Structure 1
Amino acid sequence: MPCRFEHKLRQLSTMNELFIRLDDKPEVTWLRQGEVSGDTASRTGPLPDPSGHADCHVIVFVPGSDVVLLMADVPPMTRQRMSTAVPFALEDHLIADVDLLHFALGRRSGSEPLPVAVVADGLMSAWLSRLEEAGIYPEFLIPETLALPLAPDTWTVFMDADGALIRSGALSGLAVDLPNLAIMLRSALDNAPDSALDSALDTGDNPPKRIRLLHCGEGAAMDIPPLGPGCEVTEEVCRADRLQLLAAHFDEQRAINLLQGKYNRETDVRQTWRAWRVPFALVVIWFAIWVAGALFDVARLSERSRILGEEMEAVYRQVFPEARNMTNLRVRMKRGLDALRGTGARETVGFLELLGRVGVHLQDARNIRLVSLDFRSERLELRMEMDDLQAFDGIKARLVGEGLVVEVLSVTSRESTVMAHLRITPGEASPRAGVA
């Protein structure tokens, strides 16, 4: 009777799915399913353009003949330790060197044997390189054997022109050539002493009660001789092609994803993060220190600016005591200094010029001691100590002879000391006459 093929959407109904079947041919078969696409026909050709399927989960089926499904008898342990122990546990079942193989672990319950998918490292690299060159990064890489229909106590045998696939359990099965199919089934059901075959099909002590033969396409039909009592053989004609059948029955919970270990994209991200987390942490620490230093410098410079502002205001008040407006002190100070230097309407005498004319005579007088000096509004006020009034009269005469206007503000005599307070303003400069 014909095989009923139903187009089945997976539970992730909000996402479309892109199924791709790889083999050793230049072209591939691909199929898109989901709520957007209503076309369930598979297509054959180059790998599809990923830009048109960006909203899809990508599931890739690889040939069952390239993947060996075995059962490893290892005790319960962490998954990381199992990945190390499994190659040694299966070494006797494999011809190739285990160092050249990739082992993907399936799920198991309790102490049951661990399902393992074994594939050559070179094939894994070739498949992924082929996909990545086309811009395709799959989420699942599944042996096509584990996407056949699954039923309790039933082996599903799919046959088409490319060969036969057998699924004997949730995570067990193998691929076989059509001419050897009947011999292999007979050997497995007769419990022949073939440990590799027994491990691949997981026959154990419970042989199947039913073998379901699915014929797909011309050239796939063949006669299967009776397989013994207690095992029913049914034959069906499948209207769908191989990829349609695999896509309809794929269940990620009952399959082994080959993208594990070094081929796991999430693992690559974690390994990259593990390699760069120390430099990244150092960069973050350095940046935090730099920001803290910058904030400290801003605070320090702000405080320094405030102190300088206060000092500038104090100097401005000292130089210009009549000033009331304390805004924009820098400009006001510059204008005031320009006025003192003679930038006003009339020329003024600078402090240094007046001090130079007075200082010459003070320097020559050995018995005169300068107490204080104040310059304001072009007037120089001097407070001096001297030994006697004769010295006072002498310095006054010299300053007047210099052409300066000398105003005596006060003269006091105390014991042997004379205190004099003079106000000196500029007058006409005259040649020095050598006043004694």
Structure 2
Amino acid sequence: MSEYLVIRLFDNPSHAQWMVLDSFAQNLTPFKTGALSEISIEAENRKVILVLPAIEVLTTQITLPVKNRSRAIKMLPYSLEEYIADDIENMHFALGERNDDGKTNVSIVSRHSLDNWLQQCADVGIVPNFAYSENEGIPKIPGNLVIILDDGLTFVQTDTYISFVLEEPSLINVLELLKNSSIKDESLRHLLIYTDNDGYERYKTELPELQHRTSSVDAELIADGPLSIFSSTLIQSPGCNLLQGKYAPKSNWNQWLRPWKFAACLLLALGILAILNEGGRYMVLRNQHQSISSLIESRCNSSFQISEITECQSEITRRLTSTNNSINSALEPTFLHVLSTLSGATNKEDVIEALTYRNGVMDLRIDAATATTLDELARNVSSNSSYSATIQSANPVQNRVQGRLQIVGETN
């Protein structure tokens, strides 16, 4: 849940009011007053709202011909130029939300004043997120004219989003002023007044006349001033934030990261431990690699009189290739020679059904015409002094003989 520190500023930085509320506008700390320098510790991990003097911030409404916000902001100063006595270059214009009637809320303040307030905050380490006029904090209650009396000032809010502040007028004069304006009479029938004891003493003589002119007059005493009312309204229904354009708050990374400080330190420590662990493993593997390389170099030097591992590897490959070629050249002629001898000794009526050759020994399965022809085949092969043929079996099958013959080569 978000927490808000709401600070009401005055011309003198030694005089400020503040309180802390949650996102439901419930008070978390009591109302306090004192110097601005006493507030900085309260701002930690909270959103800061500045409530600025309404006497110095003009709030109004305007109908803009465009809906594009960036274009509307560019048009705004020139649309209001005729209503401002000062040079528009010296003024800061803030654009609010569009109301149901199509008009857009606008706040205007002197750049010098706004710079001064923000500098006062910066001097004590406070970075505000929002800045509103006091008028923006007056409650908007349909069908009611809301008036706040505070220290000689009269804050007025109609039910048509029109708000203003006057210095020490009578409430009768306020009603006359509104009656002569475009405000409908229906919105003046119910009067709701927030005031402190001094304000009540100021207007109580007018109470009979107010009751005569309106349908009802309700009064509520606010002993600590209107800050609690301003705060509750601005949290639940934000107004036109003056911190726009070049005054828009920059991301406060230090404040955002502060709650994660412990987790970040822990993560950093784990990262360092992981790096040290990998470094240790690297050193162990490096030492093992050096030991194995030294052993291989020693064996290569003793076997081939070569100390370089790459040259030793090439020599081993060359010798293995030479050995394989020698083996193949020794085996292939022997097999072919046995096969050639067998071909010359076989009778045309004999059929070789299967043949295997392994380690100089050839095993045959032969379908011979008779036992005699099988015996002749064995004798013909054996007549070659290099081979010996032996009949392993001879079985008569359908007027023929199924025989097995083994030929042993000269190497065996």
Task: Normalising by structure 1, report the TM-score.
Answer: 0.52
Q: Deviations over 1:228-247 (max 9, x none)?
A: 86664333323442222222
Unaligned runs of 5+ in 2: 254-296, 312-412
User: Does 2:23 correspond to 1:23?
Assistant: no
Distance change >3 Å, CA 185–CA 111, structure 1 → 2: closer
User: Does the 8 Å CA contact 1:23/1:63 hold for their aligned counterparts?
Assistant: yes
Q: Show the counterpart of 1:126.
A: 116
Distance change >3 Å, CA 257–CA 206, structure 1 → 2: farther
Task: Measure, in 1, the Cα distance between the counterparts of 2:186 and 2:61.
Answer: 15
The equivalences for 1:256-405 within 5 A come to: 256-266=240-250, 323-327=305-309
Kindly state the Cα deviation for residue 34 of structure 1 after the two structures are TM-superposed: 4.0
Give the alignment partner of residue 153 of structure 1, picking from 118, 134, 143: 143
Unaligned runs of 5+ in 1: 1-13, 192-197, 270-312, 330-436
Task: Measure, in 2, the Cα distance between the counterparts of 1:175 and 1:15.
Answer: 31
Q: Show the counterpart of 2:82.
A: 92
Give the letter aligned to residue 168 of structure 1.
T
Q: Show the counterpart of 2:234.
A: 250
Q: Deviations over 1:181-214 (max 9, x none)?
A: 54243122222xxxxxx6xxxx379744422121
**Which segment drifts farther, 58-67 or 206-215?**
206-215
Give the letter aligned to residue 146 of structure 1.
E
User: Does 2:170 correspond to 1:186?
Assistant: no
Percent of aligned positions that are identical: 20
**Residue aligned with 2:92, SS:** strand
User: Does the 8 Å CA contact 1:160/1:217 hold for their aligned counterparts?
Assistant: no
User: Does 2:201 correspond to 1:217?
Assistant: no
Task: Measure, in 2, the Cα distance between the counterparts of 1:209 and 1:52.
Answer: 42
Task: Measure, in 1, the Cα distance between the counterparts of 2:59 and 2:38.
Answer: 29
Q: Show the counterpart of 1:33.
A: 21
Task: Measure, in 2, the Cα distance between the counterparts of 1:70 and 1:61.
Answer: 17
Task: Measure, in 2, the Cα distance between the counterparts of 1:218 and 1:323.
Answer: 111
Kindly state the Cα deviation for residue 129 of structure 1 after the two structures are TM-superposed: 0.8
Count of matched residue positions in the alignment of Structure 1 and Structure 2:
259
Q: Show the counterpart of 2:350.
A: none
Task: Measure, in 1, the Cα distance between the counterparts of 2:184 and 2:248.
Answer: 32
Q: Show the counterpart of 2:383.
A: none
Give the alignment partner of residue 95 of structure 2, picking from 102, 105, 118: 105
Kindly state the Cα deviation for residue 160 of structure 1 after the two structures are TM-superposed: 2.0
Kindly state the Cα deviation for residue 37 of structure 1 after the two structures are TM-superposed: 7.8
User: Does the 8 Å CA contact 1:102/1:119 hold for their aligned counterparts?
Assistant: yes
**Residue aligned with 1:106, SS:** strand
Kindly state the Cα deviation for residue 15 of structure 1 after the two structures are TM-superposed: 2.5
Task: Measure, in 1, the Cα distance between the counterparts of 2:244 and 2:51.
Answer: 15
Q: RMSD across aligned C-alpha pairs, in angstroms?
A: 3.5
Task: Normalising by structure 2, report the TM-score.
Answer: 0.55
Task: Measure, in 2, the Cα distance between the counterparts of 1:146 and 1:236.
Answer: 19
User: Does the 8 Å CA contact 1:28/1:47 hold for their aligned counterparts?
Assistant: no
User: Does 2:131 correspond to 1:141?
Assistant: yes
User: Does the 8 Å CA contact 1:209/1:232 hold for their aligned counterparts?
Assistant: yes
Give the letter aligned to residue 19 of structure 1.
V
User: Does the 8 Å CA contact 2:59/2:135 hold for their aligned counterparts?
Assistant: no
**Residue aligned with 2:31, SS:** coil
Kindly state the Cα deviation for residue 142 of structure 1 after the two structures are TM-superposed: 1.0
**Residue aligned with 2:6, SS:** strand
**Residue aligned with 1:125, SS:** helix
Distance change >3 Å, CA 29–CA 107, structure 1 → 2: same
**Residue aligned with 1:249, SS:** helix
Kindly state the Cα deviation for residue 171 of structure 1 after the two structures are TM-superposed: 4.6
Task: Measure, in 2, the Cα distance between the counterparts of 1:171 and 1:249.
Answer: 13
User: Does the 8 Å CA contact 1:115/1:172 hold for their aligned counterparts?
Assistant: no
Q: Deviations over 1:150-175 (max 9, x none)?
A: 21122211002241111224753111
Give the letter aligned to residue 155 of structure 2.
L
